[in-house]
Structure formats: C-alpha cells, structure tokens
Chain A
C-alpha cells in the first residue's frame, strides 16, 4: 500500500469514511433483491459515484443470451459534457475483451484533455459477466481505500448479478412451463370441441339417414313407377306396391322369382346373357339410365316400359334396383302427336293458302308446296333469290321495307303485294306475318300466310267505282229539280252586275258625268260579281242531265248496298249500325242510283250529325216497313246533335255544317218528289233526329 504520509486525523477520517462506504456497499444487495441486472448496475454506479471522487464510472454487462451488451456510464454532475455509454465503450474498446490484468493504468481521457487513471474490474469469477471501469483525472487515483471499495463493490455486484441472472433463468423456465401448460390445455379443449361436434354430426347424420330412409321408403311405396330389386342371381328381392298395378303381380308373390318373369319370352335369353356378361366383365348390355323395353304383365299382355337401373354392393353382394315406368300412354300420345303432325303438315301443304316460315332474323326457313306450285319455283330458287324476283316491281321495295320493320320490331307483318304466278300473271296477295315468341317474349319464329285477294281487290275497286257513281248521281238528281233555282241564284247577281255596269257607263257618259253615281254602281258590280263567283263555285259540279230510269226495286236491297258502301266510314267513326228491315217489303218503282243516293245522303247526314258526339253512344239505325199497304216507309235515326231548324233543312244551300254545301237534303227532297213520295224530319225521343220518307209501293206487286 502506497499510503502517503498525511495528517493522522485526516487519515482516520478517511478510514472512517471508507468503512462507512464499505458498509453501504455491503448493504447494496438488500436493495437488489428481486431486481434485474440493469437495476443492479444502476444503483451500483450511483453508489460508487457518491462514494468515490471519480470522473467516470462505466459498466458493460455481457448478455448471456448473446444479445447486445448492456452499457451504462455515470459522471459527476460537474462534468459538463454528458457522455453516452457507447462513446465510453468505444474509447475502451481495445481492452474490453481482455483480462482486467492487461489493462493500462492510464488512458487518454475520453471526456476531457489529458489522461485518465482507470481501474478496470471484471465482474464474475473470471470476468465472464462483464467489466466495471472507474476513472479519475487525479494522479493519486486509486487510493488504497478507493480500490478496496471498488473491489468489494465489484464482488457484491458479481454476486447480485449472478443471483439476478439465476432468478431470470428461473423465471423464464417457469413462464416457459406455464406457456406449455396453457398450450396443451387449449389443445385439449379444442380436441374436446371437435369430438363433441363429431358426435353431433354423427347423430345428425344418423337422423338424416333415418329420415332419408323413411323418405325413400315412402317414395318407393307411393311411387307410380314399379321399383324392383334383384340380387346377382337375377332373383327378385323386393317389389313395391306399384308393381301390382303395372305388372299385375302382388309384390310378395314376386319375391324369390327371377326377374325374367316380367319379360316377354323373346327377351329372357337376351337378358340372361347380358346380365351374365355384366357380372363377368362389368359391361352393360343396355343403357341403365332409361331404356325403352317391352314388359310382360301377369295376364300375358305385353306393354312398353321405360327402365332405369341402379347398382349397390352390400356385404359383398350386388343388389340391382330397377325403376320401371309404364309408357303405354306416352307412346300413344307420341303416336297421336306424330299423326297430328302428319295431319297438320298435310293440311299446311294442301290448304289453299300460301304459307311460309322465317327465322327471327327474317330468313325464310319453310315454304309450303302451294307457294312453290303457285310461283313455279323450287326451294333452291328461294334460297338463292327469296321474294325479290317474284314481286311486282312496284311492290318489291315497300314490301321489303315493311318486312324489315316487322323483323326489327317484332310487330305483326301486314302488307299487300302482287306475286307472280308461274304463268307470269301477277295477282294481289294479302300478307300476314306473326311472330311466335318464347316465354321471355323473344321471337323464335315467324309464321306467314299469303291470301289471294286479287278478286276481292277488284271488287273493292268496283265498289269504289259505285261510290263514285253515287257522287255523280248527286249531279244527276239535282239538275232537273234545281236548274231553276240555280239559274235564279246565278241570274240575280248577274242581272244586277249587268245593270250596274250599264248604269255606270251611263253616269259616266252623262253631261256632265256623275262620277259619284258611277262609282257606286261600279262598287256594286264588284260586290255582286264576287258573290256570283261564289254561287258558281258551289253549283259548278251539279250540272249534268240524266234521265230518271225507273225500274222495280227492293228498297231493302238498296239499303243493304248503301250500308256496304258506308261500312268503312261507320267502322272508322265507331258508329253502331242497326238495321230493322221488313223482309216482306213490297217493291217500289224507282231509279236505283237516285234511291241509293237518297239513302246514302240520309245515312251520311246521320253520320255527320253524330260527328260532334264525343262520349255518347253513336248509333245509326235504319228501318223499313209498310206504313200502309200502298206505302213503304223508311226511317233513318241517329243519336247526333238533333235538329234546330227542321223547316229549313231541306232548302238548297242551307247547311249547319262547316264544309257542307247544303245540297244533300235538298237533293233528297227532290229525289223523293220525283218518286211521288214524301220526306220529313223530326226530333227523336232521345238525342238525335229521325228522317223518314215514304214511297208508293208498286201496285199489284205488294205481298
């Protein structure tokens, strides 16, 4: 011990402090109890810094787990620069791995200028736990007491750390054990859960099986198909109740007998051979999923069945179950259907209509024989050219357009065109095409019919011609009776015009001229001239002379003809036409065209009178009867607006209609007068009016 001579009091004081310090150091382990290594080191360093006059205390603990070592450093508060433990570690690095004996006593001060005296002490018996380094700038460091305290502290720390390490180890082992116990417990719980679930599943499966078996049994018992099982010897093991109905055998009666009893003679050998081959090779001689076969009833009757088979192996034995359905009815229905199809196709081929079918895209898929015969074409011709070449050139484009529209919209196709016959003659056809649709409304096919309307078309034209004749008859009928009225109508303003003109000239020629009077006359000319122009316009069409040609006529026939002409008109205007014609009506002597005109005008008048009726019923009724044995009466009743001025309605040019000429009823009156009859109008009980006329019945011909 290189104790320097000093003041003995000082010496004693120093030793006392040392002893105190040693006591404190020895007390440290009590604080460490249960603490971890970092806490031990922490308190150790604080204690050392408090006891010793050092500038640096550094500890480095090796981690037993091989992880980064724990480093700590303490400096007195006077030390300006705060050092990080690893910076000290860096400065001491070169010696850290070495034995404490090999350390120098003096190193360059890592925290200030000059050198630092250091004391390195290993922790643990061989320093295996780490190292503690104390350093001071003092040259007399370490004193003997300081070294003693440091050594004791290092030893204490070694013990404490060792204990802490053991404690840590224990704790880890204990927690490891706990973890393993917990894991095992969880595994056991899971296994238990699984087991329960499995048990429940099995239970349910058993229940399902039971109910499924019950269901299957029920199905089999109540099935309308025969269900028959046989073993691998071909012996029947089971037959369900339906077997009795289909085969005529009691199910119990069949059990134990060979399946072949249910087959006609000719099939038995075939069956046995096929069945043996199947057992030997697994090769099936029939399709197991639905084969049509012939079966034999107990009463010897053979009938068609559909058979499906299933196979089941139980206890090493094969069991075959067959489902046999009586398809007699189905067969018959199918035969019937085929027959009906044959009939239908025969009908389609033979009816006097031309028929075609087309795909949804409009492409022709079928043409009946009539259509081919009419056009003198073959299917090939159609495939190549379609309709194009067969239509009248004027009709081809509109027809194609209409068809394209129908295909695009799915709306019914309706068009008229002229189709060339094999001899080159074009005839008019009405084409009707209708789309057949699936359940979603998509077009699946077009069906088309061509109807020859050539003759009808010409009849229509004849009817139109007849209508034109009627309107010409307006002119004929009027002339005789109206010439005077018309001449008057036209002559009055004309006379006035001429007279005014002459007056005008005279006023001008007078000495002196009277311009004012001439002007007045001229103005009257203009006024009257315009008016006569209007009159001329109204009656221009009315002049044409025709002689009345009276023949014996049935008025009912005349009425029927006119109703036919007006058919379109009444249909278009939604007018209900009622007729009440006396079948025993006597004939009259009359001009057919004029009487048609008469009835036509009265009906048209009624139709026009109902024009303003919007919501009420539009009803036009015409009735014929005898008002006396010598007189035939016809009444035309409408539900229109009625009459306001019944006395004037028959006057020429009197009209309540915006576009009317006021001639219709005047003509009627003139026609009736020419036939020695009477015409009058009255207001009906309901809405509308009644026009009636009588004509003398032809004498001697009355019934």
Chain B
C-alpha cells in the first residue's frame, strides 16, 4: 500500500473572509466553519476560538484533538465515520503541519475527566498541543441530545473541521511530501530477508467501558466484540482508526500521527522489516482476555511471522494485563516483545507500577505517572471552558493525566516516570 502525505507548513492562523492558505498563513472563515458545525441538529450552537503557541491561554474541557487531513482525488475522509466506507491508507492526503482542532465537551457536569492545554508556561513544555495553532471548537448540545449522541456529534464536528481546514491547502504544491510505501508482509525482497520482522500490536479500546452504538473506532465500527485483527499501518495513519470517547491519555491526533508506526517506518528496510499491525481490544472478562491474547499472539507469530513486536495499550490498569498476556504468549512463541506501559502505582512507589509479572517481559518503556500532580500558573485567558474560568484561570493544581498530550499511551509523549 502506498500513501502520499502532502504536507503544508502553517506558521500563523487567523480569522479571514475566505478560508485559504496564503504562504504559510492559514486564514479561516470562522463563520463558515461554525455553520458547518451547527448544521448538525444534535448541536445547537458552535463557537470557534483560536489559540496560538506562546499565548498566556488555557484551553479547558478538552475532549479530543484532531489533525487536519483531507483526501484528494475523491478519497473518503475518516471512512465509516465522516466519509463513506472505503479503504484508507492509499492515494494522496493533504495534511497541515502545526495546526490542530481541539474539541471541547460542553455537556459534562463533573469535569474531572476532561483535560487542559496550556499554550505557554510550564504546562506547555509537556504537550505537543502547545506547539500547534489550535482551532478550538466548542459546541453545545441541542435540546434532548443525550450523552452518547452529543459525543458523536462533537467528534464529527471536529473531524469536519479537520477536513475543512486541510482543504484550504487544496492541491497546491506541498512544502514537503512524505511517501509511506509498505508491501504486504509476504513480499520481502531477497536483500532484506535477513532483517528482523517487526509487528505492532495496537490495543485500540478497553472494554472497561463499553462503546456506544455510534462510537465508531475502526472504520466506524464500535468494535464491541472485536477479536484480534490485522490492518496495514497506512490505514491507521489515514483515518481508519479513531480514539473512542473515553480514551484517557490518548488523542485522535496521536493516532493520525502514530508514533510507533512512524518509528517503525523510519527503520523499515534498514534495521527491521515492518510486517503489519495487529489491532486488539482489552477485554472485560478473563475467558475473553485469554482468547484475545492467544489469537493476537497467533497473528503475530504464525501469520505475520514476526521476530519482534511492540505493544501499546489504552485505558487503565486491566488493559495492562491484557497486553501483558498477549505479549507473554508471543514471548513463549519466540517473539521478542517491548511494551509501553503507564505507571499504575497509587502511592508513587515503584513496586506498585505494574500489575503483572510475566517472564520475558523485561523490556518495558513507561509514559509516566498519571497521578503525579503539578501546579500551573495563572493565565490571561481561558478558552473552551467559560463556566470553569473562575477556577481554572488562576493557579491550578492538576495531575499529569489532566494535561492533554502530556501522556499519550501510543508513545507520542516524552514524559517518563523515573524511579528515584
């Protein structure tokens, strides 16, 4: 499969009469984008704000972040969710660099699970989203819109905005072209056959919380009874996989720029041969967990014929165990594994970090401690959280998990929990 990403650099974003890219300045017709969002009857009002890197600005009530992408040549955007169902991962996609759509949740009363983004100050150093020009989309639920519908609506609004903005670049000459070309795993040229074959096992949802009917995660499917399956890495990068509605320490943006897939692509053909992506979900019962681990290991070892595999998870502590069981089975089949875990301890002690102890799982990378707390200074303005401004405009104490982008379970973040 061959995917061409046509990147346009953006260094400034401002409101304008027409949505267009002038040099590296993105001008956005905010009224038009607002109308696009308000066309959804589940939403009654949409507001757009702009937040720029370096501004003393705090975005609150963050639900998800998306990267501006749009298919060219009639391809379907976010197939199964926004666009019609079609295979993602080939053809040409326009992408804007340094811009993100930040979607806020205006319905949730107890905001403990929603995150913040600081555009300047100590919090900014911790997240990618302080370096992007953010188009902050806040939408209010229409009368009678339930929780599940509202989340589906705001996510859709975010995706529409992501496509709308990317289309500003149109088919103009890109600043940078990225070609992601990976043959099927069976087609390895003779010169590369000595390279270790590496797979990526991507846990895309945790059934600690069941998905809603319109909570599409894989090509729009809510993957409720999903057994381990295979996809081409380009499909993940090109809109086939989305974060669910309760992905803690995870954003759709990070999936669109998937760091593991990028890291493996960077080494592909040189130090390894990237053989594919196994998608799994973390199960809620032990028998399902055992089945999933067994099948995932089978796909990695016997179908992809991998020598090594990288694993990531999503959700809380139980998904660690799902991931670890699948990895342990891979190790038992002779596949070397590396896992990205979170520090799960509740008392900051290193012994409580992991919830598993399987032989062979000796190569673990951690994305930091969610529970650790930090204090953020007061800011000049708050976006996306008018009702919370009185409390969050001043000095705020938040755990790392409350900072969007500080901890990305896919491995996009640079925080690590050191044991001292």
On whether the two chains bind one another, the answer is no
Chain A positions within 8 Å of B, measured between CB atoms, are none
Chain B positions within 8 Å of A, measured between CB atoms, are none
